[in-house]
Amino acid sequence: MAKKKPARAKSKAASHKVVKLASRKPAPKLKAKAAVKPKTTGNRVPKPSSKPFGKDGKALDGIRILDFTHVQSGPTCTQLLAWLGADVIKIERPGVGDITRGQLQDVPNVDSLYFTMLNHNKRSITLDSKSKQGMKVLERLVKNCDALVENFAPGALDRMGLTWERIHAWNPRMVVASVKGFGPGPYEECKVYENVAQCAGGSASTTGFRDGPPLVTGAQIGDSGTGLHLALGIVCALFQRNRTGRGQRVLTAMQDGVLNLCRVKLRDQQRLAHGPLNEYSQYGENIPFGEAVPRAGNDSGGGQPGWILKCKGWETDPDAYIYFITQAPVWEKICELIGKPEWKTDPEYAKPPARLPRLKHIFNTIEQWTTTKTKFEVMELCNAVDIPVGPILSMKELAEEPSLRATGTIVEVDHPTRGKYLSVGNPIKLSDSITEVTRSPLLGEHTNEILSKVLKFTPAEIAEIKASGATGEAPKAKMAAE
């Protein structure tokens, strides 16, 4: 039997509570001349808590989220909000649930890692939003939540009958947050997945090697990246609501999110109009630039040339590499370390502009040194003299890294049907809001609990809702409320 989730302290009234204003005692009358208006940030805050840091609740305590998200982008956002303390109620289609529950399954009939790693700290209710009884429950949810988060295909929420106007009329304080593939424009009706966004947002055209095709990256910048953007938008909308008393719509388009992360490439696009991009290795190789920013292989995105170099063991270990940056302020230390002290004064190597045309030769020379050491030895020797380098860490190495376990960035979670598994914890560390990662919910696990305890439906009403089939058949043994 699943553990009962600790009761969320906040009722609707509490969740909508406006921060207590500072003392309203009338200010002592000053002589007319001395009445100076105090400077203020515009946000009134209570007196500092006297409780120890980390012992006064969570950042988003009292905020309740109606989570209508699925797949990756939306769930990334609501998972973050849950880690920060929000009560996240995930609505899933009866019998089916989030499609990722069954995708890439490693253990038969068990929620996939795809699902479990994106839905920690949430509660699940199954609900057919297209049925009459389902809509009755949704209305009650809207009235009892602070934000609705969704990433359906364009128009799907409206087709359900949940237009902004209707939601706003039900609960003017509700924030309605959406991920879509594209913003308003020619493509706004398109369905979009991760790699579509990477391609449409400028990442693929600028990733890969010049003489190869565009490449997508392993980092899920389209989905998880956009989920992150959305989470910030929601928190800001909630913050503004403290002042205005009303909700608003928040939209993040995946194309926009990817483009935001590719900002340096739009920078380079404009620099191209003024001449070649001389920090790109293409410049040193005398290859002319075209009209658009080219793919730059492993060149650094900043002004300091960098490249990935082989380390000891590269012949058999695909990750025996290190990212090496020939940062100008530490150039002399690099020369010493790699056994080329003469480069410190040689006019062909001493200054950054002189080095640009011969970067390939320079990196080949540094590589002769790095191949004599493991990536960890290079890391140690370089960092000892402040030379920044980046060992290429495999997922295996990251999973086993003790320091990431110690900080909660990698966590082990127990799950009733899957057993123990590893997950990435909250990468955002707040000193006064400590994250505890709890497992993802089973499909419909909290249906009873939410209908009765959160939405306060009477037993007769619950019986009516259930008899209509609006909640499907939630598996009895898994009901947290029982």
So which residues are the catalytic ones? Answer: 223
User: Does 447 contact ligand CAO by CB under 6 A?
Assistant: no
User: Could you say whether residue 2 binds ligand CAO (CB under 6 A)?
Assistant: no
Count of other CB atoms within 10 angstroms of residue 381: 15
Q: Is 193 in the site for ligand CAO (CB under 6 A)?
A: yes
| Residue 335 near residue 341 (C-beta atoms within 8 A) | yes
Give the dihedral sign, CA 295/220/159/248: negative
191 is a site residue for ligand CAO (CB under 6 A): yes
Minimum CB–partner distance for residue 75 and ligand CAO (Å): 8
Asked if 314 is part of the footprint of ligand CAO (rule: CB under 6 A), the reply reads no
Query: Please, which residue, 181 or 306, has the CB nearer to ligand CAO?
Result: 181
Q: Nearest approach, Cβ of 84 to ligand CAO (angstroms)?
A: 21
Closer of 162 and 296 to ligand CAO (Cβ) = 162
Check residue 434 for interaction with ligand CAO (CB under 6 A).
Answer: no
In a 10 Å sphere around its CB, with 0-12 CB exposed, 13-18 middle and 19+ buried, how is residue 302 labelled? exposed
The answer to whether residue 280 forms part of the interface with ligand CAO (CB under 6 A) is no
DSSP codes joined into one string, 38-50: PP--S----PPP-
Residue of 128, 268, 279, 299 interacting with ligand CAO (CB under 6 A)? 128
| Angstrom distance (rounded) from CA 132 to CA 58 | 36
Alpha-carbon distance values, 421 to 98, 257, 410, 443 (Å): 20, 30, 10, 18
Exactly one of 4, 159, 263, 351 binds ligand CAO (CB under 6 A); which one?
159
Assess 71 for contact with ligand CAO (CB under 6 A): yes
Other residues' Cβ atoms within 10 Å of the Cβ of residue 4: 11
Would you count residue 152 as binding ligand CAO (CB under 6 A)? yes
Cβ 294 vs Cβ 282: under 8 Å:
yes
Which of 71/337 has CB closer to ligand CAO? 71
3-state secondary structure (DSSP) of residue 146: coil
Q: How many residues does the chain have?
A: 482
Q: Which is nearer to ligand CAO, 95 or 419 (CB)?
A: 95
- Which long-range contacts does 352-358 make (Cβ < 8 Å, 24+ apart)? 352/328, 353/278, 355/305, 355/326, 356/278, 356/279, 356/283, 356/284, 356/305, 357/283, 357/284, 358/284
User: C-alpha distances in angstroms, 376 versus 151, 318, 365, 410, 469?
Assistant: 42, 15, 19, 21, 59
Using the contact rule CB under 6 A, the part of the chain among 13-21, 150-158, 201-209, 284-292 near ligand CAO is: 150-158
Q: Which residue is nearest to ligand CAO (CB)?
A: 153
Give yes or no for residue 160 binding ligand CAO (CB under 6 A). Answer: yes
258 binds ligand CAO (CB under 6 A): no
Rounded Cα–Cα distance for residues 431 and 408 (Å): 13
- Binding residues for ligand CAO, how many (CB under 6 A)? 24
Considering only residues 75 to 94 of the shown chain, the ones binding ligand CAO according to CB under 6 A are: 91, 93
Is residue 425 classed exposed, middle or buried when 0-12, 13-18 and 19+ CB atoms within 10 A define those classes? Answer: buried
User: In this structure, are residues 135 and 161 in contact, taking their beta carbons and an 8 Å threshold?
Assistant: yes
x/- string (CB under 6 A) for ligand CAO, residues 165-184?
Answer: --------------xxx---
Please, which of residues 203-232 interact with ligand CAO by CB under 6 A? 223
Q: Does 129 bind ligand CAO (CB under 6 A)?
A: yes
Query: Which C-beta is closer to ligand CAO: that of 120 or that of 173?
Result: 120
Cβ proximity to ligand CAO, 241 vs 446, nearer residue: 446
Least distance (Å) from ligand CAO to the CB of residue 466?
16
Closest separation in Å from C-beta 38 to ligand CAO: 46
* Binding site residues, ligand CAO, CB under 6 A: 71-74, 91, 93, 127-130, 151-153, 156, 159-160, 179-181, 191-194, 223
